[in-house]
């Protein structure tokens, strides 16, 4: 069984009534309803970039920039990049 951590929360009366109703209707404990709700919070959290990956990308780009300009001309035109 997964180890649980005890938390105490305060609910407004209408939230308590909703929690009790949901638990009864779904045949679940109030605690399980709360645990499922907490799991859904992750979807609300904004994207967190991988800072290590961004640092690696920055270093890669700096190495490219240190090489200086590419010798020769490009063989394509800007318009070639766009589909017709």
Compare 82 and 4 and report the one with higher pLDDT: 4
- Structurally, the chain folds into a number of domains equal to 1
Asked whether residue 31 is assigned to any structural domain, the reply reads yes
Tens-digit pLDDT profile for residues 35-63:
999 999 888 877 888 899 999 999 999 99
Residue 15 has pLDDT above 60, yes or no: yes
Asked whether residue 4 is assigned to any structural domain, the reply reads no
Q: How far is CA 48 from CA 11, 17, 54, 55, 64, in A?
A: 30, 35, 12, 14, 27
Can you give the residue range of the structural domain that contains 17? 13-66
Asked whether residue 78 is assigned to any structural domain, the reply reads no
Q: Residue 84: pLDDT band by 50, 70, 90 thresholds?
A: low
The pTM for the full model equals: 0.52
Tell me, what's the pLDDT at 73? 82
Asked whether residue 47 is assigned to any structural domain, the reply reads yes
Give CA angle at 48 (45, 41), nearest 5°.
15
């Amino acid at each position: 069984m997964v180890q649980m951590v005890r938390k105490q929360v305060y609910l407004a009366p209408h939230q308590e009534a909703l929690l009790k109703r949901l638990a009864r209707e779904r045949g679940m404990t109030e605690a399980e309803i709360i645990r499922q709700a907490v799991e859904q919070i992750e979807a609300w959290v904004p994207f967190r970039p991988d800072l290590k990956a961004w640092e690696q990308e920055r270093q890669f780009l700096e190495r490219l920039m240190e090489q200086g300009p590419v010798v020769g001309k490009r063989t394509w035109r800007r318009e070639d990049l766009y589909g017709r």
